[in-house]
Structure formats: structure tokens, C-alpha cells
Amino acid sequence: MTSAAKPDIALAERLFDELRCKTSATCGVSRVSYGQGEQIAHDMIRREADRLGLMVRTDAGCNLYVTLPGAARAPCVMIGSHLDSVPMGGNFDGAAGVLLGLSVIAGLKAAAVIPPQSVTVMAIRAEESAWFGASYIGSRAAFGLLEQAELDGIRRAGDDMPLGTAIQAAGGDPAVIVSGPPALRPGDVGVFIEPHIEQGPVLLATGLPIGIVTDVRGSFRHREARCLGAYTHSGASQREGRQDAVRAVSELVVTLDAAWESLAGQGHDLTVTVGQFWTDPVEASFSKVAGDVRFSLDVRSASESTLAMMRDELASIVRKIEGRTGVRFELGPLTASDAAQMSPAVVVGLTTAAREIGIAYNQMPCGAGHDAAVFARNGVPTGMVFIRNSNGSHNPDEHMEIEDFAKAAEVVLHFIQVFRPPGQWPTLS
């Protein structure tokens, strides 16, 4: 079944402008997880859903669900992404997926089209790990996968508020998240689609407007790593006796980069990033050998075995540097996210939909983490559609052409209208 329904792109454009206006900071946008900016965004989506006469509900983790009933109520087709941002981020990361879903169901409703299955747009809370140091908080809460230790123990950057307190302040119920029935069960969702801006340069380089994602990278991270050496006089300390933390961490960075280059040359999917590196602003001095360096480490791969290899390599490199230089590394807490494969049937369905309506696409892996990984690893048939983006992501200069957004929305809309229940896949077209 296909129809003359078209995504309501004007609605999306209006809401993108309102989001930027209401959540912009001095540089970029800052929509804090379970904070004011994220709440503004959720309130906007609820307002528009009410205006359109759609079904609306929230769960104990404050995730928002907007539903257009279909000919069959379950399992639903779900389109979703997040509405929080990193500090001083861009306006499209996450929000593009939610507004795309809303534009699709608004278009179906305007054309009086009843889809084969109910279509739900999920506005997910707290995807960005920059705030609480944990990945996929909202989607994990929906599946009942958050633990009490996380609710009590992890705290928000900036105000040090515990996660459970922040959820409660936003109107959620941490006790229900831990002990109540989950808001989502895998059988409730026939397919989950996460539209998202691409956060790298592949689509820009290939000249294609959209990408169909095949897999999402997992990661391991040390967000609060430290190297302890000894402060000594820069002129009076000989090279051999120094316990120079800057030199030690620099050696670690260079050696990890060489390991990355070697594994990439062998065909491994991998990225290694030291995104923070600093000395103590009070105690360090230009005339001192540094005795204390803080840094972060972010390692990502689509392969769990590659991640395991890099964890072992990191431990080996640290031991060697410590033995040779006399410093001590404290890597701190380890956080991780699992890699996830997108459903081959959903990939087939999305690529078929794109071909049938004449929209060019690139089939590609995803280097960043996304809520789609939680759905996929919980047994939900899952797919992602990337939208071309200039200037990278997690910065104020994200740039998405509305024409590319419209093409992605058309693909998702066509996919919905040829949707089949999971037992009939992969005959999606």
C-alpha cells in the first residue's frame, strides 16, 4: 500500500527554528539531559502531538511516545531518537530523528492515511553520555535496564545531581524504572528506525543525501584517567631520573595511535581518541616537570574482539611505560557500550524503499553510538537512516540541508507503508 501522503517538512522546519531559538547558548545549543533545554524540546513535541490529535504518553524514565494508530495496533513501527545535546553542540544531532518521525506521522494524518501498523515517534531522554558519563540512559530505562547503582551513583556534569534525582525532578519515577514492568518489551516494537544526521564526512564526500546503516560501533572509555609522576625543577632534574607525567601520557598516546594504525592496516574497524589532556592549572608550572596529568580515552569498534584486543594492548602499554619511567597510571572507571548489527531485513527494506522512490543512498557503518544499538541488542529489528551533514557533529556548526532531511523522511514514510510484520520479513517490498 502506498499513498499520496507526504512528510510535513514545513512542520519540521518550524520546530528546528524554535528549538534553536529556545535552547541556544552563547555558542551552539545546550540541551542538558534531564535539564531545562531537553525539557523544552520534549514539551514542544507534546504540544505539537496534542495539536495533531495524536496519542501521547510518557514512561517512568520521562521518554515521550507519540502514536498514530494503524490498522493493526501491535507491534508498532517506531521512529525515534534523542532531544538532548552535548554542551555547545549542534541543533540537529538527535532532534532530526524525532522531527523526521513527527513530520512523517503528521503527513499521514493530513492525508487521512491509516498505516498498516501503528506508528509511534519516541523522543528519547539522555542519550548523550557527556552529562552523566553513561550511554543510552533513556532507552535503557525504557527497557528496564538501568540499575539502582546507576541511579544513585552517577552524577550530572555541572551540578553534580544524581541521575535518579534528575529523573524524579523531570517528572519520572526511578523506583518504577528499577522494579516496575518495563515501558517497552521487544515484542511491542515490530521495527525501530532511528533517523540521524551523519556525524562524519562520508555522505558529504560521496555526494549522496542519505545513508542506510549496517552496524553501530561499540566502545570502551576511561573518562577520568590520570598519570601520577613527580614534580621537580625543570632545570635541575636530569632526564634519567624524571618521573614526567606529560612525557608518559604523550608516549601512551603515540603508542596507542601506532597500535590503531597497525590494526587498521589488518582490516580492523577501530577509532582511538584522547579527547582531553591537561595538567593541574594550580600546581603545574612552565618551570616544573609535570607530576600529574589528567586525560580521557575513547576506543570504538564494530567488533567486540577488536575492542578486547585494544583493552589488552592498553594494559600492556601502561605496564611498560610505568616500568620504564616510574610513573603510575590510574585509568579510573571503565564505561562501555556494546556494538550492534542492524537487522539485515530492515536494511533490505530501507534500501528497497529508497530505490523504489528514486533516492540515492550509501550503505555504510556507523562510527558513533546511538540508541538504535539498545533496541537491536534487545531483539528489536532495527535500522538507521543517516542524513548528510556538513562540518561534523558535537559542535555548533552542524549543517543539514532541509532537502536531504526531506529525502530521508520520504524513504521512512515509504518504508512504513510497505511494512510487514516480523514473521513475514524480509519481504518488505
Q: What are the tens digits of pLDDT across the range 39-96? A: 999 999 999 999 999 999 999 999 999 999 999 888 999 999 999 999 999 999 999 9
Average pLDDT of the segment spanning 335-354: 90
Domain ranges of the chain: 9-217+339-424, 219-337
pLDDT of residue 214: 92
Lowest mean pLDDT among 36-40, 192-196, 333-337: 333-337
- The pLDDT of 100-117, averaged and rounded, is 95
Mean pLDDT for 264-281 is: 95
pLDDT at site 422: 52
pLDDT-derived band at 325 (thresholds 50, 70, 90) equals: very high
pLDDT higher than 60, residue 112: yes
Report, as an integer, the average pLDDT of 268-289: 95
Where is pLDDT greater, at 365 or 315? 315
* pTM of the predicted structure, to 2 decimals: 0.84
Mean pLDDT of 27-38: 95
Tell me: the pLDDT tens digits for 170-213? 999 999 999 999 999 999 999 999 999 998 899 999 999 999 99
3-state secondary structure string, the chain?
CCCCCCCCHHHHHHHHHHHHHHHECCCCECCCCCCHHHHHHHHHHHHHHHHHCCEEEECCCCCEEEEECCCEEEEEEEEEEECCCCCCECCCCCHHHHHHHHHHHHHHHHCCCCCCEEEEEEEECCCCHHHHCCCCHHHHHHCCCCCHHHHHHCECCCCCCEHHHHHHHCCCCHHHHHHCCCCCCHHHEEEEEEEEECCCCHHHHHCCCEEEEEEECEEEEEEEEEEECCCEECCCCCCCCCCCHHHHHHHHHHHHHHHHHHHHHCCCCCEEECCCEEECCCCCCCCEECCEEEEEEEEEECCHHHHHHHHHHHHHHHHHHHHHHCCEEECCCEEEECCEECCHHHHHHHHHHHHHCCCCEEEEEECCCCCHHHHHHCCCCEEEEEECCECCCCCCCCECCHHHHHHHHHHHHHHHHCCCCHHHCCCCC
Examine the pLDDT at 31 and tell me if it is beyond 80.
yes
- Given a cut of 80, is residue 35 above it in pLDDT? yes
**In the prediction, which pLDDT does 39 show?**
98
Provide the pLDDT for residue 420: 61
**What pLDDT is stored for residue 427 in this prediction?**
46
> What pLDDT digit, counting tens, does each position of 395-426 carry?
999 999 999 999 999 999 999 987 665 555 54
> 219-337: same fold as 9-217+339-424?
no
pLDDT of residue 393: 87
Predicted confidence at residue 25, as pLDDT, reads 78
Fold that domain 9-217+339-424 belongs to in CATH: Aminopeptidase (3.40.630)
Q: How many percent of the chain have pLDDT more than 90?
A: 85
- Band of the pLDDT at 135, cuts 50, 70, 90? confident
User: Percentage of the chain surpassing pLDDT 70?
Assistant: 97
User: Which tops the pLDDT comparison, 339 or 77?
Assistant: 77
Instruction: Calculate the average pLDDT of the chain.
Output: 93
- Per-residue confidence at 428, pLDDT binned at 50, 70, 90? very low
Q: Which CATH number does 219-337 carry?
A: 3.30.70.360
